[in-house]
Homo-oligomer: A and B are copies of this chain.
Amino acid sequence: MAWFRKLIHVSSIRSSSLIKPRITSAYPLGLFTSLSHFSSESTIQTPSPKLSQYSGLEPTKPGEKPRVVVLGTGWAGCRLMKGIDTNIYDVVCVSPRNHMVFTPLLASTCVGTLEFRSVAEPIGRIQPAISRAPGSYFFLANCKTLDTDNHVVHCQTVTDGLDTPEPWNFKVAYDKLVIASGAEASTFGIRGVKEHAIFLREVYHAQEIRRKLLLNLMLSDVPGISEEEKSRLLHCVVIGGGPTGVEFSGELSDFIIRDVHQRYAHVKDYIHVTLIEANEILSSFDDRLRQYATKQLTKSGVRLVRGVVKDVQPQKIVLNDGTEVPYGLLVWSTGVGPSPFVNSLQLPKSPGGRIGVDEWLRVPSVEDVFSIGDCCGFLESTGKPILPALAQVAERQGKYLASLFNTMGKAGGGHANTAKDMDLGGPFVYKHLGSMATVGRFKALVDLRQSKEGKGLSLAGFLSWFIWRSAYLTRVVSWRNRFYVAINWATTFVFGRDISRI
């Protein structure tokens, strides 16, 4: 850092002698510092992969705070990090993404109803200790392997292409490890999905969808495009009739009815939305709600098609019965399954391939490893059914585990290998509070039954929409984002959606 220190020294001399230079330099005018003192030798040292490969955070010592390592920044991991008592623990988060995505509102960002930044919550705001406390960190990295015997995770940094450093490896010793790395969209082995379809789980997916939609709208207005090509370009096809697919179709429909008709008036008769589902849309909802959803979507112009996708090509999909469906935008919002990382872990799995956990969300075959969220499932031996991959489930598990860790910590079981025979108290119990989904402007469904067979309130229509909006506003993690989401909604209502293609 030698040349920096010299620069500061010269700066402080300079600021008191703005007119007359005292240091002889190649640049006589006194307004500037001079670099002529500084060595011309290279001061760069790229971290040598060998030397640094096993740098990392060493195990904590008995007097120090025990360390919780969390893999992932989704609903489960973030709720856990929020609830952990940082007087008891240090928190180290490892994830390729430095923010949480408020997934229920993600579909709204694709068409500009909300801004991308309003649905992203930086980890540093969710758990401020990560920004400030000396022993707590966020590492932009992926976990590569676990060494559960030695209580170590081996990780690799995420870098970003040209002009950024090569990725390097490091390790982090843990007292408690929580795997909350989530799931991946299922492609069912269908060819072409990853190459041509866009998923809807991350902010960059929503950004891609938005840019492509706007590009297609603009290109379709240019001379030289055939009628067939125009129809194809403006045909938006959504695969998957769960809440994500239905909400996105509803948003898109509203965008077409309102904004496209005003701002892309030349092509408003060409743009269409088709939702393709293999079974039933919103299958976890009440029958009457499903019929309501169907009616609303159809009324707003969404074509509902039952079909199974067989093949995905650059400009069309092929269904099982041979029908070809040309598209300009293809959004894939089907179910989720285990990620390659989870598949690679040498841990017992639940039916379906998720990381197997017991009723206390522990991975029972090793010490001090837990798992929450979409990536975990109850082991068959517990007799409990696998919980659905929902934000609600993940959040509840995160909250439970934080509470469990805090209790363990206070009872002296915070450090590695100290909680072997500890009584962990009550197991995790999931109680479904209800499901919500929007189906376009001012219309939503709220299904407050605890299960498909249960009784309970189910509402549809404007009241539901209002409840949905309010509920989400209270769930969004910070005041800053609550404020921004409310502002976005208000602005969209008054001014229409934003259509700059950036």
Contacts and interface: CB of A to CB of B under 8 A. Distances in A.
Given A98-B218, A291-B18, A43 B228 contact: yes
A418 interface: no
Interface of A: 1, 4, 7-8, 11, 14-15, 18, 26-27, 29, 31-36, 38, 40-47, 52-53, 55-57, 97-99, 115-117, 120-122, 124, 131-132, 134, 137-141, 157, 159-160, 162-165, 168-172, 195-196, 203-204, 207, 211-212, 214-216, 218-219, 221-229, 231-233, 262-266, 272, 274, 277, 280-281, 290-291, 294-295, 298-299, 303-307, 314-316, 319, 321-326, 478-480, 483-484, 487, 491, 494-495, 498-502
Given A18-B294, A500-B99, A43 B326 contact: yes
B502 A207 contact: yes
Nearest to A112: B117
Contact of A165 (B131, B227, B229): B229
Contact of A295 (B18, B229, B280): B18
A222 B167 CA distance: 11
A223 B55 contact: yes
A236 to B, nearest CB: 13
A304 B33 contact: yes
A485 to B, nearest CB: 12
A498 B117 contact: yes
Given A170-B222, A222-B141, A224-B47, A35 B321 contact: yes
User: Most B CB atoms within 10 A — which of A41, A55, A98?
Assistant: A98
B502 A116 contact: yes
User: Most B CB atoms within 10 A — which of A11, A31, A160, A225?
Assistant: A31
B159 A228 contact: no
Nearest to A168: B224
